[in-house]
A and B are shown apart, each in its own frame.
Chain A
Amino acid sequence: MDATVRAHLRPEVARQALPGAEPVLRVEDLRVWYGARPALRGVSLEVPERRITAVIGPSGCGKSTLVRAINRMNELIPEVRTEGRVWFRGRNLYDPDVDPVEVRVRIGMVFQKPNPFPKSIYENVAFALRLHRRLSRRELDEQVERALRQAALWDEVKDDLHRKSGLELSGGQQQRLCIARALAIEPEVLLLDEPCSALDPVSTARIEALMEDLRRTYTLVIVTHNMQQAARVSDFTAFLLDGELVEFGPTEELFTRPRDRRTEDYITGRFG
């Protein structure tokens, strides 16, 4: 993270010491309601740059709500109310003058159920590029290839780019297509909301390997209900329970020496 951004981080907020990486996102006292029902009850945490941060917790604990709040996807759902701040590159993403479109260009997202567009593989990846950049035919081709390579899908689809619809791919390929589609416009952060929960173990392993590669370039936040997955892939882990952040720290520490009793109960399988 560059120094100017550090200067924008609000000093009065106590920063948790996270060894090895500077925070790129700072979530501050985030509260979200669905109608009258609270889903997040004041969550604060920092997401380190070029690391994989996992968010774990039992169903309904607010994991998805948390990542969807980061790129302002929650507001697409009627009746959702959000309070608190999400600091990113020196700006609060919830300031009234921040356009959610810009937020989503810089913070990409992959969903639980693969949701490719019913268009060709090429058009799936090219969509965001066409929206946000002015590229020549050749540049567009290059960017599509680059994104598909980054998502480790290129070799499997390079001969069917225009012929095959995204919906004709297998589930695991569809999810990698969705990752390629998000990577096409090179976001700074990629949010993955249970990206493997609809996939078989082989596809899951491929996505996990892919995340390991992406970690060099991107900041990743992955929601998962699978603790082994969190332990395998992530550098940092946040444990949420009933809309509250119970514990957040380096993954190894959280899984080997949990500080909170509830974390220990959860990771040892006593509930959830």
Chain B
Amino acid sequence: MTVRSVADAGWRERLARRERAGAVFVATCQVATLVGLVFLGILLVDVARDGAPYLRPELVTNFPSRFPHRAGYASALVGTVCVAAIMALVAFPLGVLAAVYLEEYARPGRLTRLLEVNVANLAAVPSVLYGLLGLGLFVEGLRMGKSLLAGALTLALLVLPLTILTAREALRAVPFSMREAAYALGASRWEVVRHHVLPYAAPGILTGIILALSRAVGETAPLIMLGALQYVPFLPRSVWDYFTVLPIQIFNYVSLPNPEFHRLAAAGILLLLAVLLGLNATAIWLRNRSRIRW
């Protein structure tokens, strides 16, 4: 190839420089990606080393105890599952219905706009404040005490805005042409929503729900505000019982002076991470399995 075809002298040098600039950019991006992964890796290795001796079945069958080798997370794990389940029953129907209303029914206007902005703002409110709200409203106002129900309802309030936001995204992702097609066949608005919009948005809504669930499972602050106990040597038998959850139990063990408890806490962190990873993996699996390619 002759040089004539690529303009003036110096073009090749400049080309090399341009390509170097591109390479530098890619390297920077790779470093940025690695930073997060490296720290996660360090954390995992460190926690795994500390917690390894306690990774045994008793970890999830033992109740809290003064003796580290007899202590475990039975009440915390069951508490977490119960709180999450009740929260899901309350928050997700409410969240999805609110999203359907805002997306499919509410007439665009000042009121709708106000609602939307507030939902978005609520999603950004620090979780401690939800704890205070729960304390005032459920624990004291409605006299629920420091019960499982009060905790679950507080977390439900916490994840409600998030659920609404993700569900709205999923509803909005259903092409307008589907609504048009259904309306043109004489479907009423309710039938369009029931037979088309909701089913097609369901995978996305479900993904958002699971992510909200995993956020709630990892929450500590609001439940501490609420007065979730740190020593619960029994499984909850009704929604009015005292309860504890994994993050609080971990927090408790970490704050004890005996270093053996710190190892137990590390094992608890692994347990919590396993629960969270399981939830997130389910979300990704669902999304990939049932996504509709329009």
Asked whether, in the complex, the Cβ of A104 is within 8 Å of the Cβ of B293, the reply is: no
Question: Known interface pairs A78-B108, A131-B191. Does A105 touch B181 (Cβ–Cβ under 8 Å)?
Answer: no
Asked whether, in the complex, the Cβ of A115 is within 8 Å of the Cβ of B188, the reply is: no
- What residue in chain A is nearest B200 (Cβ atoms)? A118
Counting CB contacts under 8 A, is A101 at the interface? yes
**Which B residues from 174 to 229 make CB contacts under 8 A with A?**
175, 177-188, 191, 195-196, 200
Question: Known interface pairs A113-B177, A118-B292, A127-B195. Does A76 touch B187 (Cβ–Cβ under 8 Å)?
Answer: no
- What residue in chain B is nearest A104 (Cβ atoms)? B186
Question: What is the distance, in angstroms, from B214's C-beta to the closest C-beta of chain A?
Answer: 28
| Tally of B interface residues using CB under 8 Å | 21
Give the complex CA separation of A105 and B20 in angstroms.
64
- What residue in chain B is nearest A101 (Cβ atoms)? B186
Asked whether, in the complex, the Cβ of B184 is within 8 Å of the Cβ of A73, the reply is: yes
Interface segment, A26-34, A43-51, A178-186, A252-260? A178-186
Asked whether, in the complex, the Cβ of B186 is within 8 Å of the Cβ of A111, the reply is: no
Asked whether, in the complex, the Cβ of A108 is within 8 Å of the Cβ of B181, the reply is: no
Residues of chain B within 8 A of A118, CB atoms compared: 200, 292, 294
Number of A-B contacts (CB under 8 A): 61
Asked whether, in the complex, the Cβ of A131 is within 8 Å of the Cβ of B177, the reply is: no
Asked whether, in the complex, the Cβ of B186 is within 8 Å of the Cβ of A182, the reply is: no
Asked whether, in the complex, the Cβ of A76 is within 8 Å of the Cβ of B292, the reply is: no
Residues of chain B within 8 A of A185, CB atoms compared: 185-186
Asked whether, in the complex, the Cβ of A181 is within 8 Å of the Cβ of B183, the reply is: no
Residues of chain B within 8 A of A181, CB atoms compared: 181, 185
- What residue in chain A is nearest B195 (Cβ atoms)? A127
Question: Known interface pairs A111-B177, A113-B177, A117-B178. Does A73 touch B183 (Cβ–Cβ under 8 Å)?
Answer: yes
**Which B residues from 90 to 137 make CB contacts under 8 A with A?**
108
Counting CB contacts under 8 A, is A71 at the interface? yes
Question: Known interface pairs A76-B179, A131-B191, A167-B293. Does A109 touch B184 (Cβ–Cβ under 8 Å)?
Answer: yes
Residues of chain A within 8 A of B196, CB atoms compared: 117
Residues of chain A within 8 A of B182, CB atoms compared: 117, 127
Residues of chain A within 8 A of B294, CB atoms compared: 118, 167
**A residues with CB within 8 A of B:** 71, 73, 76, 78, 101-102, 104-105, 108-109, 111, 113, 115-118, 127-128, 131-132, 167, 178, 181-182, 185
Instruction: Give 5 A-B pairs besides A117-B196, A128-B187 with Cβ atoms closer than 8 angstroms.
Output: A73-B180, A104-B183, A104-B185, A167-B292, A182-B185
Which 7 A/B pairs are nearest by Cβ-Cβ distance? Answer: A105-B186, A128-B185, A115-B177, A109-B184, A104-B186, A115-B181, A118-B292
